[in-house]
Every structure is written in structure tokens, then in C-alpha cells.
Structure 1
Amino acid sequence: MSVVAAIIQARMGSTRFPGKSLYPVAGKPLIWHLIHRLKQARAVTHVCVATTTDPSDDPLAAYAAEQGAVVVRGSVDNVLERYLTAARRLDAEVVIRVTGDSPLVAPDIIDAMVERLLEADADNICGDGSPQAVIDEGYTVVSRRLLERIGVEGADDPAAREHVTYYASLHPELGRAVSFRFPVSHEFSGGRISVDTPADVALIEALYAETGVPAGELGIPQVVELLRRRPDLVAINAHVRQKGGDEVTRKALFRCDGGARLGLGHVMRCLNVARELRDRHSWGVRFAMAGEEVARRLVEQQGFGVAEVTEAGAMDALVARWAPDVLMVDLRDDTGPEVLRGWRRSVKVLAVLDDGSDRRLAADLAFYPPVPQVAALTFAPQTQVLAGWEWLPVARPHLPVTRTQSAVPRLLVCMGGADPADLTGRAVSILAGLEAAFEATVVVGAAYGRREALAARLAELGPRFRLEVAVPDLVARLPAFDLALASFGTIAHELAMMAVPMVLLGLTDDHVLSASALAAAGAAMVLGVHDRVADVEVADAVSGLLADPARRERMAAAGAALIDGDGACRVAQRLAQAVVNNVSVQEKAVTS
């Protein structure tokens, strides 16, 4: 019997989705799905996990061994070397290259491909010349001799070192290919079932939930049948872009903080841009944070890695070691421009978000909303300033949202993720005294420190008030509200984007000045700095709008016309283009 090794390339340090190999999918770690399904392939004699010698991969190596897989460890950066090591150790005649992001790998197709390869004494599998779009992803069957040739010919080629068998498609002369055609039951165009982001996990879990099959037993024909019947499921991860085999891995590092004092707005808007870079541009993204644990957890819940940079020199060392293509800085501390200039030496592009401090003088790109303060700022010659509603780092939900009708106006109270001034408690007391009919949803973030007292107060007030904490899909739910009482921040721009009229309070004079742009456009009522606004002013503003649906409609339309929801996408696109331009300039400098 031929020795056939299914070798899974996997590591915990994935740039797009750190820790994904052990991330739970349908109740089991991602790597479990691959090992379990590959064991079902009759032709496979060995299932192997080829991971790295980095200590971060110790848990993965231990788990894979527990599941009965052979574990081979090698270079962090050279995947080809890991494959060669594993193939030689197992003395494999046939190697199945399996990417660690493919939980629905098809054992029956692998069996058929291996049989076809051995019968023809071929080196590679290719299509039969007729068009065929299949949903299968993540596995390639090759001969050991072809792998060895790739190891010789492509030893110094980045495409071979990272993508291994992709190199053979660029150099077909390395081996003889035999044709193979997938069954019709695998044909599907427009869907992707690999796991590169949390949205991909959501799709796989939705497929399992809809079919009801046990973990590890979902077959491709079932997936295709379901997606043909329920094409709406494809939208769950339709916005995620698959990285091409010939693409260079790009990386972005976000330096921001958040917590009870700072709030979470800076973190939230950085997350909007980070998701765009990861999902639509296939970039690796990390965050560097020195703030509170609540902010770190928020970032990690979105599938991003976080580096702690509280100690002196930690950020300098991280930037030098990771060498990101882009460094995005969104800080409100005393870090000066000279520090950013030091970081700039290790990156291609340095950008700042809505930064009025001297840090802007070190930036290549500076993004701002169209607020009056920007007109008074000066910039360094190298800085490109991008100011306007179109550059607000907000993002419209990628899944469709619908407005629902209600006989009673629905009011949202949202004073930020931390609300250090407890404007939430004050707002509840004001609203409790209104005679107007309404239903209020009070939303607080994970950093809000008075949750128990607030919950008790709302319970006393009865069913027209309800409390929600750290709502993950708040933006998608905004169309359910007819009016919002909020503090100025990222939420104000998201309300405008989703056509929700608002009454705004500011924490500072700067906030009020920034919010004035929304008021001037007709999208908001701005009452002023919170501690200079009387309760009766808040009550009158809310009561007046609750009683005036026509005005609310005009405000809603003004907000939607102002902010289209593509700002985070534009920011990400501009960052990516700046990197391309920078690389081009560097290449010209080298060749000139």
C-alpha cells in the first residue's frame, strides 16, 4: 500500500485570525475538524500537523498529538520546509497539502484524487479542461517527487515557501498533471468555506445549525444543497476576500487605548478599519494597547491579536520586530511626534485618526471628520490630509438591515461604552419624568461601572425601560429606533449613518464643537456640554422630537445623506494604496 500523508499546515500565529487553529467551530476546535475528516479518507495512511517551533504553537502541537495526528515542527516562516520535513519523516509517496483553515475538507474526493494520481503515476491534479466552479477549498494532492522538486527549484521563492504547491501551478514543467473532475454535487459558485475570519466561523456554524448534523460530519453535497436553497447564508461571509497565492502578506498595527476614563470610541473606530483591512484586503492585523482589560477583550472578541505595551520600550520593540506595513495611531495621551518618527522608521506608512496634537506632524496620512477644528491645524509637508464625512471610520453592517414599524416611538439611550460622567443614569431619571409615550432601550458598554445600580433603577421604572450591555451588533440594530439620546462620539456618526435622529450631549467643549457639524447638517440637536445643560432642556428636546415625527424624518434623511457608511472602507483602501505607492517609490530608488 502506498504511503499517503495528509499534512495540515497550521499555527496559532495566523496574521488574520490569531489562535484560529484551536478556535471553537460547531463546538470543536478548528484543527479537530480537519484531523477528524482526514482520518475518514481510506487512502490516507498518516494524518500529520506541520506546525512551528514557536512556543505559541505548543498548545496546538499537544492537542494534535492527543487527537492521534503525527506532529512535525519547523520554521515559522518557511511552510515548504515544514512539508518537506514531514514528508521525509513519514517516507510519503503521495502528499496531500491541507491548509489549516478548511474544516469541510472532503475525504471522498481526496480518495478519488489519490487513486487517480497513483493510477496515472502523475505528480499533480488539474482540471479536465472544461469550466467547473466548485466550493471545495484547502487541499491539493501531489507526488512526493514533485514536492522535492519544488523544494529545490523554489527554495528561495516566497510563493513556494509560503504556499508550497501553488508554485507548481506557476511552473507546470516540474511535473506531469492528470485531469480530475469533481462530482456535480460539489459545484457551487460564489461561496467560500475556509476559515480566515470570525465571519467565516459564523457561516460554518450556520451551516451546521441549519443541517443539524453532528460536528465533523457535514459533507460538501449537503452544503451545496443548503446554499442553493438558502442563498442568503452566503452573505454571512461574502464580504471576506480570499488572499491570492501570489500575494505578499501585508500587515497593519493599530495603537489605541480605551477604558472607563477614555471610553471605547477610539477602539471601536480602529476596529472598523481593522476589519476592513483583514476581511476585504486579506491583511494581517494586530493591536498594541496599554489601556484597560475591557478594551483588550473587546478587540480579542473580534478575532484580533493584542500586544501589551505598558512597559517602556515595548511599543518600540514591537514595531521593530513585527515591521508592519501600516501603523495607525489613535491616542489621547502625551506621546509626542518624536516617538512616532521613531516608529515610522520601521513601517511603510504611518497614519493618525482625528488627532489634533503634534503627533499629526509625523504622519504620512491624517484622517479627520469635517469639523471646525481641522481648519486651524497645520501639517508637515509629507502629510496627506483627508478630511470630510466620507473619511469617517464607520462601517455599515454587511448583512441587510430592515426598519420595523412601531405604534409607540422607540428611544435609544447610549452614552458611550464607558460613560465616565454617568450620563446614562441622568438620562434615565429625566426620561422617567416624561409624560410622552415611548419605549426606551438603555445600552451601556462593558466598561460602564454602575451597571447593577442602573439595572435596579430600570426594574423600578417598569417595562417601558430595558437594559442591554455590550451589544455586539448595535449598529445593525439602530434602524429599530425612532430617536436617540446620546453623548457625542462614534455612536453619533453611526446613528446618522443608519438614519436615526438624535439629541446629543457633549463631554467637553471640543465634543460640542465637533457635534456642531451634525447639527449644521440637520441630523442632530446638540444641547451643549452636559454639565451646563439643565435637565429640563434635555426633557424638552426629547419630548419635542417624540411629538414631531415629521421633524424626526427630516433629521433621519439628513443624517443618511451625510454619512454613507463606507468611510472605514475608504480609509482601509487609502492605507493599502499608500503602501503600494511607498513600495513603488522604494523600488524606483533601488533601481535608479
Structure 2
Amino acid sequence: MTLRVLLACHAGQGVGLGHLMRSLVVARALRRRLGADVQLIIQSEPLRREDLAAFPHQFVAPDVDLGQALDTQRQAMAAEVIALDLHPQRPPADLATRLQQWRAAGCQLITVDGLLAHRPSLDLIFLPSFRFVPPPDLPAGAPIRFGWDCLLLEPLPEGHRRPEGREVLVLTGGSDATGLGRDWPGLLDQQLPEDARLHWVTGPFSPRPVLPAAPRIAAFEEHVAPAGLGPLMRQASFAVTVFGVSFFELLQHGVPTVVFSPYGGKDQPELDALRAEGLAWIARDHLDATQQLARLMADAPAAAALSQRAQARLGRPGGDHLADAIAQLTRSTCPRAS
């Protein structure tokens, strides 16, 4: 009998694409490993993405009740599993009541990356993170899984190797929420080696960057809302990025990377842990990141060591791990939270 799974996530302006990209990784893993019937609900302005065409999906406008949309689709497809990857600031107002109703209807309930306060009503909390410090008020309930094998990344093609060269990939997130595109392109052009070939990705919700009119470096190419970052990552020799899902994809690809968080101190514990493991060079801000990238491009042994350590650390795909956990739940080998 085909397992029916309903996935829900946020995307769009101010949110970016991280939740959606993880949900697509999960959807593909569920289909690949379990042969599941997977449908998606995305609370966002409509997006044009080729990878979404592989699954039945619908967009829910940001001002529409996501809880009601989920319940309507749950009943329509007779979903057995509901998995939520929601922005922490935007859960449905009546989520607690909805979770109780869905449990009573026999659904297995899973959250990805959060909703810890609802732990008593869930069957599994899957954190796509290599570290987790339980908050002091964490309630009892569903098991919590995290670790390097929980990162929700797409499996790499067989035989992938980091290319040598001077191709530099620059990522600012799906919406460039802090306006890095205003001055960072010019700084990179001024400070990187002249033989650098820079690839700037403008996300689907980002304002257009201010690019140098006559670049000093060998090449400066803008990629506007590409369908996926995989091809750019596979050709990248170096990268500099804001902290987020795409950073871990770069590690998986073995790209020597400089990373920073422009979002205050919220990511500092993770960045400190990454520095301790020697998986990337950690910068304070985009100014420091530019200087560090220039030094990294001049230090071939350091770049090779970063690449090797990163690829060794990221092994089994997290999507497979979550699919197997869902299979366990539906076989009732994992007790329901109480």
C-alpha cells in the first residue's frame, strides 16, 4: 500500500528558499526509498521551479490560513503523515489545535527544524543540524534527531571531485535580507586576485545587486534565480556565503568556503563549532569574508585541507535518514509521543 505524505513549508520574501529546498530533498527521498505519494503545500507567492513539477503541489498566499489549507488537503489525499518545515515566526495561529485534530485522525506528525514547544503533540522532531542544545523549558514528548547525518542535502553524483581553478561562487541567500548586493560586489572586485572568475547568485526574492561596470577581475557573472545551485557548486573552486542551507551543500561538494552570518549573533554557536572542526573559514562580516577569501585563494594547501575535511564529515544523506525514520513510525515500531 502506498504511503501518503503531505509536506508543508514556507518560502518567499523575507523567508528565502531554505525550507522549500529541504522539503524537496525530503520529497525525493520519500519517493526514492519508500515509493511514497508525496504532495506539497507551500505558503508563498507562486514560484516557477522545474523541480517542483515532479510533485503535486499548491501555493498558499501569505495572508491565507495555512492550517485550514493543510487540513483540507489532508482530508482530500487521506494523508497518513504530515511533515512541517515552517518558518519559526510564521506558524498557523491555531497550530496546537490542528495538531491535536490530526493526531486524533491517525496522522503521524513530524516537524523539521523547530516547533519544539509542540513536542508533546508530535511523533518526531527532525533537526537538520549538526548540533542541538535543548532549551531549559523543553517539554517531554517526541524523539528528537539531529547530527551530521540529519542535514537535508541532495546526494551528490557519483565520482564528484572538487575542480581546480579560480571559479568563485558568491551566495547571499534567497532574498539577500541584509542588502549585501549594494556594496559587496565592488569590494570583491577590488580585493580578489585578478584571475578570479566570480559567479554572483541573485536569489528569486533578492533586489538586483550593484555590479561593477568594468570588472577588474577576470570575469564577473550574475546568475539570476537559477533553478538549482548544484551545477554552480560542482564547478566552484572556492565559495563565500552567508550561513544557511546552501553553506552545508558547499561543504558536501568539498568547496573551500568562507562563511559568515549577517543576522546578528543567532548563528554564532554553530559558527564556533564549525571553526573548531576546521570545516570552513569563519568571518565576522562580508568585509572580513572578502579578505579571508583572498587569503584562502592564495593558500592551496589550506584550501585542499578544507575540502577533504568537509567531504569526509558529510556522509549519508539526511533525506534517506528521515525517510527511514518515517518508515519506522508508520510500522509502529516507534512509540507515539504522549
Q: Note if contact 1:439-1:465 (Cα within 8 Å) is conserved in structure 2.
A: yes
For the residue of structure 2 that corresponds to 1:564, the secondary structure is coil
Does 2:70 correspond to 1:315?
A: yes
Residues 392, 300 of structure 1: CA spacing in aligned structure 2 closer, same or farther, 3 A cutoff?
closer
Paired residues, number: 324
Distance (whole Å) between structure 2 residues aligned to residue 473 and residue 309 of structure 1: 22
Q: Which has the higher contact order (CA 8 A, sep 6+)?
A: 2
> CA-to-partner distance for each residue in 1:171-196, whole Å, 9 max, x for gaps?
xxxxxxxxxxxxxxxxxxxxxxxxxx
Deviation at 1:547? 1.4
State which of 561, 569, 573 in structure 1 corresponds to 2:320.
Answer: 569
Residue matched to 2:99 = 340
Residue matched to 2:281 = 525
Does 2:289 correspond to 1:538?
A: yes
Does 2:118 correspond to 1:365?
A: no
Q: Note if contact 1:250-1:325 (Cα within 8 Å) is conserved in structure 2.
A: yes
Distance (whole Å) between structure 2 residues aligned to residue 430 and residue 376 of structure 1: 43
Does 2:40 correspond to 1:264?
A: no
Distance (whole Å) between structure 1 residues aligned to residue 139 and residue 231 of structure 2: 36
Q: How does 1:148-187 map to 2 (within 5 A)?
A: none
Deviation at 1:514? 2.9
Deviation at 1:299? 7.3
Q: Note if contact 2:156-2:253 (Cα within 8 Å) is conserved in structure 1.
A: no
Deviation at 1:318? 2.0
The alignment's TM-score, normalised by the length of structure 1, stands at 0.51
Distance (whole Å) between structure 1 residues aligned to residue 134 and residue 247 of structure 2: 19
Does 2:277 correspond to 1:277?
A: no
State which of 375, 380, 385 in structure 1 corresponds to 2:140.
Answer: 380
2:297 is matched by which residue type in structure 1?
L
Distance (whole Å) between structure 1 residues aligned to residue 137 and residue 319 of structure 2: 23
Distance (whole Å) between structure 1 residues aligned to residue 134 and residue 183 of structure 2: 32
State which of 293, 296, 299 in structure 2 corresponds to 1:548.
Answer: 299
Distance (whole Å) between structure 1 residues aligned to residue 300 and residue 137 of structure 2: 39
Distance (whole Å) between structure 2 residues aligned to residue 520 and residue 426 of structure 1: 30
Q: How does 1:156-555 map to 2 (within 5 A)?
A: 248-294=1-47, 297-298=48-49, 301-310=52-61, 311-312=64-65, 313-332=68-87, 333-335=90-92, 336-355=95-114, 357-368=116-127, 369-374=129-134, 378-381=138-141, 383-398=142-157, 400-406=159-165, 409-434=166-191, 436-437=193-194, 438-450=196-208, 453-454=209-210, 457-461=211-215, 463-508=218-263, 509-528=265-284, 533=285, 535=287, 537-555=288-306
Deviation at 1:271? 0.7
How big is the alpha-carbon RMSD for the aligned residues of Structure 1 and Structure 2? 2.6
Residues 309, 360 of structure 1: CA spacing in aligned structure 2 closer, same or farther, 3 A cutoff?
farther
Identity %: 24
Deviation at 1:571? 1.1
2:42 is matched by which residue type in structure 1?
M
Residues 403, 493 of structure 1: CA spacing in aligned structure 2 closer, same or farther, 3 A cutoff?
closer
Residues 423, 356 of structure 1: CA spacing in aligned structure 2 closer, same or farther, 3 A cutoff?
farther
Q: Work out which of the two has the higher radius of gyration on C-alpha atoms and give 1 or 2.
A: 1
Distance (whole Å) between structure 1 residues aligned to residue 102 and residue 247 of structure 2: 32
Q: Note if contact 2:184-2:286 (Cα within 8 Å) is conserved in structure 1.
A: no
State which of 309, 331, 337 in structure 2 corresponds to 1:580.
Answer: 331
Distance (whole Å) between structure 1 residues aligned to residue 324 and residue 7 of structure 2: 16
Distance (whole Å) between structure 2 residues aligned to residue 542 and residue 493 of structure 1: 17
Distance (whole Å) between structure 1 residues aligned to residue 13 and residue 307 of structure 2: 30
Q: Note if contact 2:26-2:152 (Cα within 8 Å) is conserved in structure 1.
A: yes
- Unaligned 5+ segments in structure 1 are 1-247, 587-592
Distance (whole Å) between structure 2 residues aligned to residue 329 and residue 522 of structure 1: 32
The alignment's TM-score, normalised by the length of structure 2, stands at 0.86
For the residue of structure 1 that corresponds to 2:187, the secondary structure is helix
Distance (whole Å) between structure 2 residues aligned to residue 432 and residue 421 of structure 1: 20
Distance (whole Å) between structure 1 residues aligned to residue 302 and residue 119 of structure 2: 39
For the residue of structure 1 that corresponds to 2:226, the secondary structure is coil
Distance (whole Å) between structure 2 residues aligned to residue 301 and residue 458 of structure 1: 34
Residues 499, 445 of structure 1: CA spacing in aligned structure 2 closer, same or farther, 3 A cutoff?
same
- Unaligned 5+ segments in structure 2 are none
> CA-to-partner distance for each residue in 1:119-172, whole Å, 9 max, x for gaps?
xxxxxxxxxxxxxxxxxxxxxxxxxxxxxxxxxxxxxxxxxxxxxxxxxxxxxx
